[in-house]
Amino acid sequence: MNMSSYESLTTGSAVSLVKKLGLFAESETLSSREIGDGNLNYVFHIKGKEKSVIVKQALPYAKVVGESWPLTLERADIENRALRLQGKFAPDYTPKVYYSDKDLAITIMEDLSHLEIARTGFINGEDYPLIAQHTGEFIARTLYSTSDFAMGPQEKKKLQNTFCNPELCDITEGLVFTDPFFDAETNDFEEGLRPDAEKLWQDSNLKLHTAQLKRLFLTSGDALLHGDLHTGSIFASETETKIIDPEFAFYGPFGFDIAHFTANLFMNALSREDSRREPLYAHIVTVWDVFNREFTRLWKENNTEAFAKTEGYLEWLLADIFEQAAGFMGLEMIRRTIGLAHVKDLDGIEDEAARLQAKQRSLAIGARFVKERHQFTSADQLVSAFQEGLQ
Ligand code: SR1
Ligand code: MG
């Protein structure tokens, strides 16, 4: 990457850029707004008379913390290449990429502003009837298609080499798998939660299970993951779903993406009244159902593995993925509650006592998912365990 040609865009220079690239006529009047509400990047929405685009630019530091946390610009290239691959395997669920520039760390892509960020919609009471079906298909297709089973070990290894992503993995290794389990500086929680956080820090059994899951994250190279598939990485409507922001993409364990999606559904459920939780439970059951079905279909259709037809192999693998995912799900719930990066679903609960109770539940349920992951074999059981945690 040539750092000397990097400069951060402004609303004005983003307009000049899209005109220079010929995406709009020089004479056209365009509106330009910075709309990024994520933790890491600038996102410009550029709109002309008949069309609009999104210009996303990585900053050389983490926006959520500031310039004191330098961060590689390589992530823009990772995101652009991941989007193009995901677009190949799951075109209905991936934004189109029009242009990318490694030195400027930008990706110009389809404007999805007719959709809404799913987290925001869920918080406002939307239910998105197709989101679980679509997300399950997206995860199964992108994971299976980049695995040894579909690509064969040689091609897969070559692709894996191009998706190392050590700096963004380091963020996940710290923020998800390590810091929340110690009294680390990056942690962030209200004083009322301190006894609950301290309970986790003293739970050596939880730490052992977390260490095991961290090892899985560090060492498994099953497939090209999205790497950060929470509900803030999904644009949705009643009929459409698009998965965005794969800058954390890397070769990791099969169960990771589905775990993050379901954990974020459970956290939204914690913010809702009991009578409004059912659609989220249904999504959790559906996403697992769809994932298993689609993964199985692809396995039977295209599998380069000599043992593919060995009785029990696929069933064993799906059960293993489920067990890992139950654990990763619990870790995501814990880190979004006491770690650095929170979710609005929980932080936005206005009543202080209700907010504290929801966060305490998130920690306790999350810890149970981590420690008892070997005992869960179906999404219904996860939902039942979650409901027990509400008692
Ligand atoms: C410093 S980045 C914090 C979090 O934001 C991203 O979306 C990832 O979830 C990361 O852990
Ligand atoms: Mg993101």
Q: What is the DSSP string of 251-276?
A: EE-TTHHHHHHHHHHHHHHHHS-GGG
Binding residues for ATP: 41, 56, 110-112, 245-247
Q: Is 165 left (phi over 0), alpha (psi -120 to 50) or beta?
A: left
Ligand nearest to the CA of 233: 2
Is the pLDDT reported for residue 242 higher than 80? Answer: yes
Ligand nearest to the CA of 172: 1
| Residue 192 near residue 362 (C-beta atoms within 8 A) | no
Q: What is the pLDDT of residue 63?
A: 79
Q: Residues for the chain: how many in total?
A: 391
| Residue 245 near residue 231 (C-beta atoms within 8 A) | no
Query: Tokens 């008892």 sit at which residue?
Result: 372
Ligand 1: which atom is nearest the Cα of residue 71? 1
Query: What average pLDDT does this structure show over 231-252?
Result: 97
Neighbours of 189 (CB within 10 A): 16
Binding residues: 41, 56, 110-112, 228, 245-247, 335
Q: What is the pLDDT of residue 39?
A: 77
Q: Tell whether 34 and 165 lie within a shared domain.
A: no
What is the count of structural domains for the chain?
Answer: 2
Q: Tell whether 194 and 66 lie within a shared domain.
A: no
Q: Indicate the residue among 54, 82, 109 that finishes a domain.
A: 109
Q: Tell whether 269 and 384 lie within a shared domain.
A: yes
Q: Indicate the residue among 93, 109, 125 that finishes a domain.
A: 109
Q: Tell whether 98 and 140 lie within a shared domain.
A: no
Pocket lining: 37 vs ligand 1, CB cutoff 6 Å: no
Ligand 1: which atom is nearest the Cα of residue 64? 1
Q: Tell whether 264 and 367 lie within a shared domain.
A: yes
> Which runs of E-coded beta strand occur in the chain?
31-34, 41-47, 52-58, 61-62, 66-70, 97-101, 106-110, 116-117, 223-225, 234-236, 241-243, 250-252
Q: Is 66 left (phi over 0), alpha (psi -120 to 50) or beta?
A: left
Pocket lining: 62 vs ligand 1, CB cutoff 6 Å: yes
Pocket lining: 244 vs ligand 1, CB cutoff 6 Å: no
Q: Tell whether 102 and 124 lie within a shared domain.
A: no
Ligand nearest to the CA of 243: 2
Q: Tell whether 177 and 318 lie within a shared domain.
A: yes
The rounded distance, in Å, linking the Cα atoms of 85 and 83 is 5
Is the pLDDT reported for residue 1 higher than 70? Answer: no
Q: Indicate the residue among 79, 109, 139 that finishes a domain.
A: 109
Q: Is 128 left (phi over 0), alpha (psi -120 to 50) or beta?
A: left
Ligand 1 probe mutation, 171, 226, 230, most atoms within 8 A of CB = 171
**Model pLDDT for residues 294-325, shown as the tens digit of each residue:** 999 999 999 999 999 999 999 999 999 999 99
Residue 4 binned pLDDT confidence (cut-offs 50, 70, 90) = low
Q: What percent of the chain has pLDDT over 90?
A: 93
Pocket lining: 228 vs ligand 1, CB cutoff 6 Å: yes
Pocket lining: 229 vs ligand 1, CB cutoff 6 Å: no
From 9-13, 33-37, 190-194, 343-347, the region with the lowest mean pLDDT: 33-37
Exposed, middle or buried, 36 (CB in 10 Å: 0-12/13-18/19+)? middle
Query: Residues 12, 14, 15, CA angle at the centre, nearest 5°?
Result: 70
DSSP 8-state code for residue 375: G
Q: Tell whether 14 and 134 lie within a shared domain.
A: no
Q: Tell whether 212 and 293 lie within a shared domain.
A: yes
In this structure, which residue's CA is closest to atom 8 in ligand 1?
228
**Model pLDDT for residues 27-85, shown as the tens digit of each residue:** 999 999 999 877 789 999 999 999 999 999 999 988 778 888 899 999 999 999 999 99
Query: Residues 174, 179, 185, CA angle at the centre, nearest 5°?
Result: 110
**CATH assignment at residue 60:** 3.30.200.20
Q: Tell whether 150 and 241 lie within a shared domain.
A: yes
Pocket lining: 39 vs ligand 1, CB cutoff 6 Å: yes
Q: Which residues contact 308 (CB under 8 A, 6 or more apart)?
A: 149, 299, 314
Q: Tell whether 88 and 143 lie within a shared domain.
A: no
Q: What is the pLDDT of residue 3?
A: 58
Which one is predicted more confidently, 6 or 310? 310
Q: What is the pLDDT of residue 113?
A: 92
- Complex-level ipTM: 0.98
Query: What average pLDDT does this structure show over 153-169?
Result: 97
**CATH assignment at residue 256:** 3.90.1200.10
Q: Tell whether 88 and 139 lie within a shared domain.
A: no
Ligand 1 probe mutation, 40, 229, 333, most atoms within 8 A of CB = 40
Pocket lining: 341 vs ligand 1, CB cutoff 6 Å: yes
Is the pLDDT reported for residue 2 higher than 70? Answer: no
Domain that holds residue 237: 116-388
